[in-house]
């Protein structure tokens, strides 16, 4: 998995959050970080909860980016 520096910081700082709290923070990520996270989800889906995956997809859709 390859993470951007900003995404590395996000993942390092938010290990204690619930999935709902992670979802709120993910929705605020910038587009390039969302793409990085989506690529990582595709590589290792078992490491991410369904809620996190849906949030990433929803955040991209909210930016008019269709998967």
Q: Give pLDDT tens digits for 21-47.
A: 888 888 888 898 888 888 888 888 887
SS3 assignment, position 67: coil
What average pLDDT does this structure show over 7-27? 80
pLDDT of residue 60: 92
What average pLDDT does this structure show over 3-24? 78
Residue 49 CA neighbour count, 13 Å, CB half: 11
CB-based contact 13:55 (threshold 8 Å): no
Tell me which residue of 15, 5, 19, 9 sits closest to 52, measured CA to CA: 19
pTM: 0.74
């Amino acid at each position: 998995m390859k993470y951007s520096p900003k995404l590395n910081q996000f993942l390092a700082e938010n290990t204690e959050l619930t999935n709902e709290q992670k979802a709120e923070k993910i929705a605020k990520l910038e587009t390039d970080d969302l793409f990085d996270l989506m690529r990582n989800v595709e590589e290792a889906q078992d490491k991410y909860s369904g809620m996190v995956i849906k949030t990433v997809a929803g955040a991209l859709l909210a930016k008019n980016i269709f998967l």
